[in-house]
Protein backbone atom coordinates (compact mmCIF):
# COMPACT_ATOMS: atom_id res chain seq x y z
CA UNK A 1 0.00 0.00 0.00
CA UNK A 2 2.80 2.43 0.91
CA UNK A 3 4.59 1.69 -2.38
CA UNK A 4 1.37 2.36 -4.32
CA UNK A 5 0.94 5.75 -2.62
CA UNK A 6 4.54 6.68 -3.44
CA UNK A 7 4.00 5.68 -7.08
CA UNK A 8 0.80 7.74 -7.33
CA UNK A 9 2.52 10.72 -5.70
CA UNK A 10 5.46 10.45 -8.11
CA UNK A 11 3.18 10.25 -11.16
CA UNK A 12 1.16 13.24 -9.92
CA UNK A 13 4.35 15.22 -9.32
CA UNK A 14 5.62 14.42 -12.82
CA UNK A 15 2.31 15.44 -14.41
CA UNK A 16 2.26 18.75 -12.52
CA UNK A 17 5.88 19.45 -13.49
CA UNK A 18 5.14 18.67 -17.14
CA UNK A 19 2.09 20.92 -17.23
CA UNK A 20 3.77 23.83 -15.43
CA UNK A 21 6.86 23.72 -17.66
CA UNK A 22 4.77 24.40 -20.77
CA UNK A 23 5.05 28.14 -21.32
CA UNK A 24 2.46 29.81 -23.47
CA UNK A 25 2.61 33.08 -25.32
CA UNK A 26 2.04 35.85 -22.77
CA UNK A 27 2.01 39.64 -22.56
CA UNK A 28 2.35 41.68 -19.36
CA UNK A 29 -0.90 42.91 -17.80
CA UNK A 30 0.05 46.38 -19.06
CA UNK A 31 -1.11 45.39 -22.57
CA UNK A 32 -4.91 45.42 -22.42
CA UNK A 33 -7.87 46.24 -24.63
CA UNK A 34 -8.53 50.00 -24.87
CA UNK A 35 -4.95 50.97 -23.95
CA UNK A 36 -3.31 54.18 -25.18
CA UNK A 37 0.25 54.31 -26.53
CA UNK A 38 2.30 57.50 -26.60
CA UNK A 39 2.56 58.96 -30.09
CA UNK A 40 5.79 59.85 -31.91
CA UNK A 41 8.16 57.73 -29.79
CA UNK A 42 9.40 54.13 -30.25
CA UNK A 43 7.03 51.62 -28.65
CA UNK A 44 8.46 48.61 -26.79
CA UNK A 45 6.36 45.44 -26.77
CA UNK A 46 7.55 42.44 -24.76
CA UNK A 47 6.42 39.20 -23.23
CA UNK A 48 7.14 35.51 -22.76
CA UNK A 49 6.90 32.27 -24.73
CA UNK A 50 8.77 28.98 -24.97
CA UNK A 51 12.52 29.37 -25.53
CA UNK A 52 13.53 29.66 -29.18
CA UNK A 53 10.07 30.65 -30.45
CA UNK A 54 9.76 33.33 -33.12
CA UNK A 55 7.22 35.94 -32.00
CA UNK A 56 5.68 38.37 -34.48
CA UNK A 57 4.07 41.66 -33.41
CA UNK A 58 1.78 43.60 -35.74
CA UNK A 59 0.35 47.07 -35.09
CA UNK A 60 -0.94 49.47 -37.75
CA UNK A 61 1.28 48.91 -40.80
CA UNK A 62 4.25 47.58 -38.81
CA UNK A 63 5.28 43.95 -38.41
CA UNK A 64 8.30 43.19 -36.20
CA UNK A 65 9.66 39.81 -35.10
CA UNK A 66 11.92 38.53 -32.33
CA UNK A 67 13.04 35.14 -31.08
CA UNK A 68 12.70 34.26 -27.41
CA UNK A 69 15.86 33.69 -25.43
CA UNK A 70 16.69 30.70 -23.25
CA UNK A 71 14.66 32.37 -20.48
CA UNK A 72 11.57 32.63 -22.72
CA UNK A 73 11.62 36.44 -22.82
CA UNK A 74 11.23 38.46 -26.03
CA UNK A 75 11.05 42.16 -26.88
CA UNK A 76 10.48 44.19 -30.04
CA UNK A 77 10.50 47.92 -30.72
CA UNK A 78 7.86 49.46 -32.97
CA UNK A 79 8.72 52.62 -34.86
CA UNK A 80 7.06 55.83 -33.63
CA UNK A 81 3.35 55.96 -34.43
CA UNK A 82 1.11 58.85 -35.36
CA UNK A 83 -2.24 59.56 -33.72
CA UNK A 84 -4.68 56.70 -34.38
CA UNK A 85 -7.56 54.88 -32.79
CA UNK A 86 -9.28 51.49 -32.91
CA UNK A 87 -6.09 49.59 -33.79
CA UNK A 88 -5.44 45.94 -32.94
CA UNK A 89 -2.11 44.78 -31.55
CA UNK A 90 -1.58 41.20 -32.75
CA UNK A 91 1.11 38.95 -31.26
CA UNK A 92 1.75 35.51 -32.80
CA UNK A 93 4.07 32.71 -31.80
CA UNK A 94 4.13 28.91 -32.06
CA UNK A 95 0.54 28.53 -33.21
CA UNK A 96 -0.85 30.98 -30.66
CA UNK A 97 -2.29 34.43 -31.28
CA UNK A 98 -3.00 37.20 -28.78
CA UNK A 99 -5.01 40.24 -29.86
CA UNK A 100 -5.18 43.47 -27.87
CA UNK A 101 -8.18 45.33 -29.28
CA UNK A 102 -9.13 48.99 -29.59
CA UNK A 103 -5.63 50.39 -29.09
CA UNK A 104 -5.28 54.17 -29.43
CA UNK A 105 -2.15 56.21 -30.11
CA UNK A 106 -2.01 59.74 -28.77
CA UNK A 107 -0.96 61.73 -25.73
CA UNK A 108 -0.41 59.78 -22.54
CA UNK A 109 -0.40 61.81 -19.33
CA UNK A 110 0.19 60.45 -15.86
CA UNK A 111 -0.85 62.46 -12.83
CA UNK A 112 -0.59 61.61 -9.19
CA UNK A 113 -1.57 63.10 -5.91
CA UNK A 114 -4.25 62.99 -3.28
CA UNK A 115 -6.74 65.71 -2.50
CA UNK A 116 -4.87 68.16 -4.73
CA UNK A 117 -5.97 66.12 -7.77
CA UNK A 118 -9.55 67.25 -7.11
CA UNK A 119 -8.62 70.91 -6.70
CA UNK A 120 -10.91 73.09 -8.87
CA UNK A 121 -9.02 75.82 -10.67
CA UNK A 122 -11.60 78.33 -9.47
CA UNK A 123 -10.36 77.83 -5.91
CA UNK A 124 -6.89 79.12 -6.78
CA UNK A 125 -6.35 82.54 -5.22
CA UNK A 126 -4.37 83.61 -8.29
CA UNK A 127 -7.07 82.61 -10.79
CA UNK A 128 -9.53 85.26 -11.87
CA UNK A 129 -13.05 83.94 -12.28
CA UNK A 130 -14.57 84.82 -15.58
pLDDT at res. 111? 75
18 assigned to some structural domain: no
Task: Give the model's pLDDT for residue 128.
Answer: 59
What's the confidence (pLDDT) of residue 46? Answer: 98
Number of domain units in the chain: 1
Q: Exposed, middle or buried, 113 (CB in 10 Å: 0-12/13-18/19+)? A: exposed
Query: Where are the strands (E) in 1-130, listed by range?
Result: 36-38, 43-48, 54-59, 62-67, 73-78, 84-93, 96-106
Residues of the chain with pLDDT under 70: 1, 5-6, 9-10, 12-23, 115-130
CATH of the domain at 117: 2.60.40.10
Could you tell me if residue 129 is inside a domain?
no
| Reported pTM | 0.70
Q: Are 57 and 100 in contact (CB under 8 A)?
A: no
Q: Could you tell me the residue range of the domain that residue 41 belongs to?
A: 24-123
Degrees to nearest 5, angle at CA 56 with 69 and 17 = 45
Residue 5, pLDDT score: 67
pLDDT score of 7 = 72
* Distances, alpha carbon 73 to alpha carbons 28, 42, 50, 99, in Å: 11, 19, 8, 18
Amino acid sequence: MNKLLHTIALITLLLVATLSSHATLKLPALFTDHMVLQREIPVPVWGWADPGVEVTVKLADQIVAATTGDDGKWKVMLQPLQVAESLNLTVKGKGETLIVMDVAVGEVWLASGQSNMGFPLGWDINTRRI
